[in-house]
Amino acid sequence: MSRRLSMPERHPSKLAFLNDRSGSRITPQQTRNLIRNIVGKEIQQKSD
Does residue 12 lie in a domain region?
Answer: no
Does residue 37 lie in a domain region?
Answer: yes
Does residue 3 lie in a domain region?
Answer: no
Does residue 34 lie in a domain region?
Answer: yes
Question: 30 Cβ partners below 8 Å, 6+ apart?
Answer: none
Question: 31 Cβ partners below 8 Å, 6+ apart?
Answer: 15, 18
Helix (H) or strand (E) holding 18: helix 12-22
> Which pLDDT tens digits describe the chain residue by residue (48 residues)?
445 555 556 666 666 666 666 667 778 898 899 899 988 888 877 777
The whole-model pTM stands at 0.42
User: Which residues constitute the domain of residue 26?
Assistant: 19-45
Does residue 24 lie in a domain region?
Answer: yes
- Could you give the number of structural domains in the chain? 1
